[in-house]
């Protein structure tokens, strides 16, 4: 199994913490259905977008 060109170190379990975590972080942002954390992140971003739209609509003055 090749992980970011570090297949020798991956097989011998000599990767640093960052080299082990980096593929998980990339999957979190590149593949929105890759894990539960990715699904939660997607949901939070959607809720934030809806909240910002509601705040923008509520800040508009009412015309009379």
Alpha-carbon dihedral sign for residues 24, 30, 35, 41: positive
Side-chain-side CA neighbours of residue 43 (13 Å): 7
- Domain locations in the chain as residue ranges: 7-58
**Torsion angle of the four alpha carbons 53, 56, 57, 59, in this order, in degrees rounded to the nearest 10:** 160
Q: pTM here?
A: 0.57
E strand or H helix that includes residue 43: helix 36-59
- Tens of each residue's pLDDT in the chain, 64 residues: 455 555 655 556 777 888 888 888 888 888 878 788 888 988 999 999 999 999 999 988 877 6
């Amino acid at each position: 199994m090749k992980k970011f060109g570090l297949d020798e170190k991956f097989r011998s379990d000599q990767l640093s913490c960052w080299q082990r975590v980096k593929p998980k972080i990339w999957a979190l942002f590149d593949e929105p259905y890759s894990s539960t954390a990715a699904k939660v992140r997607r949901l939070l971003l959607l809720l934030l977008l809806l909240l910002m739209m509601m705040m923008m609509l509520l800040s508009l003055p009412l015309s009379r």
